[in-house]
C-alpha cells in the first residue's frame, strides 16, 4: 500500500519554451519539494564534450565522459546551480551551443540509460518535481502526478527570443535552432518526447504562469487526497 506520508514524485515533461522550468521551480518552492532539472544533466555532458573537443555523435566516448564526470544538481531558491566536477556551470550551460549539444548527446540510448539511472536515484525518495522530456514515460513511469506542458510553437519561440534578446542573439537563428531541437527531441528513436498515456496535458498558450501553477496545485491536492 502507498504510504500516505510519503511525499509525491511529480513529473513535468514538455518541449522547450513551454514554461517547464519556471513552473517546476515555483511549484517545488510552494510544496517544499526539490526541483530537479534533468535537462541540465544533458547540458553538462554536452559542455564536457565541447571542452574536450569530443563529437556529439560518439556514443561510447560520451558515455565514458558521463561516467567519469561528477554532475551535481543543487536546487537553490534563486535558481538551481549545476556543478560539473565541482565547477559552477549554471550560466554557461544556457548558451546556444550547449542547448544544441544537449539535444544531440541525448539521442544516444546508452547515454540516456546512464542519465535515467542517476535521475531515479535522485528522485526515488519522493518530494521532487522533476522536469524533462521522458520523466513520466521512462524515469518515473509510476510518478504520482504527470504533467505534459505544451504551448503553441510560435509562443514558445517568442518566449525563447525574449529570454535570449538580452544576450543580443539573432532572432531568426534562435527560432530555427528551437525548431530543429524540437524536431530532434520528438523524432529520436530512444525515448522521444511524448506525453505519457496517463499524463495531464496542459496547454499554456493562453494561460498565465499563475494559472498553470494553480491548475497543477489543484491536481497535487487531488492526488494527496486520494491517498488518504
Locate the DSSP E strands across the chain: 9-13, 34-37, 71-74, 81-84, 87-88, 128-132, 145-150, 200-203
φ/ψ of 149, rounded to 5, equals -100, 120
Residue numbers 106-125 binding ligand DC by CB under 6 A: 106
123 membership: H or E segment, kind and range: helix 109-123
The residue among 176 and 226 lying less far from ligand DC, judged by its C-beta, is: 176
Residue numbers 54-113 binding ligand DC by CB under 6 A: 102-103, 106
As measured in angstroms, the least distance from the Cβ of 99 to ligand DC is 6
- Cell 560518439 locates to 58
As measured in angstroms, the least distance from the Cβ of 125 to ligand DC is 19
SS3 (DSSP) at 89:
coil
Distance CA 149, CA 176 (A): 21
Q: Residues touching ligand DC: how many (CB under 6 A)?
A: 14
Contacts of 184 (CB under 8 A, 6+ apart): 103, 104, 107
As measured in angstroms, the least distance from the Cβ of 19 to ligand DC is 11
The residue among 187 and 208 lying less far from ligand DC, judged by its C-beta, is: 187
Count the Cβ atoms, other than its own, within 10 Å of residue 114. Answer: 17
Burial label for 69, CB within 10 Å (0-12, 13-18, 19+), is middle
**Residue 42 binds ligand DC, judged by CB under 6 A:** yes
Span of 34-42, 48-56, 74-82, 201-209 interacting with ligand DC by CB under 6 A:
34-42
Span of 39-47, 52-60, 73-81, 143-151 interacting with ligand DC by CB under 6 A:
39-47
As measured in angstroms, the least distance from the Cβ of 103 to ligand DC is 3
Residue numbers 130-159 binding ligand DC by CB under 6 A: 132-135
φ/ψ of 197, rounded to 5, equals -55, -35
As measured in angstroms, the least distance from the Cβ of 184 to ligand DC is 7
As measured in angstroms, the least distance from the Cβ of 3 to ligand DC is 27
Instruction: Enumerate binding residues for ligand DC (CB under 6 A).
Output: 16, 38-39, 42-43, 102-103, 106, 132-135, 181, 185
Amino acid at each position: 500500500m502507498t504510504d500516505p506520508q510519503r511525499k509525491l514524485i511529480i513529473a513535468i515533461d514538455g518541449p522547450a519554451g513551454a514554461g517547464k522550468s519556471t513552473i517546476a521551480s515555483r511549484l517545488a518552492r510552494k510544496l517544499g519539494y526539490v526541483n530537479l532539472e534533468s535537462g541540465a544533466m544533458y547540458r553538462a555532458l554536452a559542455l564536457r564534450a565541447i571542452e574536450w573537443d569530443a563529437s556529439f555523435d560518439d556514443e561510447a566516448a560520451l558515455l565514458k565522459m558521463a561516467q567519469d564526470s561528477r554532475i551535481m544538481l543543487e536546487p537553490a531558491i534563486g535558481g538551481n546551480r549545476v556543478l560539473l566536477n565541482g565547477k559552477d556551470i549554471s550560466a554557461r550551460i544556457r548558451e546556444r551551443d550547449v542547448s544544441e549539444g544537449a539535444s544531440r548527446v541525448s539521442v544516444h540510448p546508452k547515454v540516456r540509460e546512464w542519465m535515467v539511472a542517476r535521475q531515479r536515484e535522485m528522485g526515488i525518495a519522493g518530494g521532487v518535481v522533476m522536469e524533462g522530456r521522458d520523466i513520466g514515460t521512462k524515469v518515473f513511469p509510476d510518478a504520482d502526478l504527470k504533467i505534459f506542458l505544451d504551448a503553441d510553437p510560435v509562443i514558445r519561440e517568442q518566449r525563447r527570443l525574449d529570454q535570449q534578446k538580452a544576450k543580443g542573439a539573432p532572432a531568426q537563428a534562435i527560432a530555427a535552432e528551437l525548431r530543429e531541437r524540437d524536431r530532434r527531441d520528438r523524432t529520436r528513436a530512444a525515448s522521444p518526447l511524448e506525453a505519457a498515456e496517463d499524463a495531464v496535458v496542459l496547454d499554456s498558450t493562453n494561460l498565465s504562469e499563475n494559472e498553470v501553477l494553480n491548475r497543477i496545485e489543484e491536481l497535487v491536492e487531488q492526488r494527496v487526497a486520494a491517498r488518504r
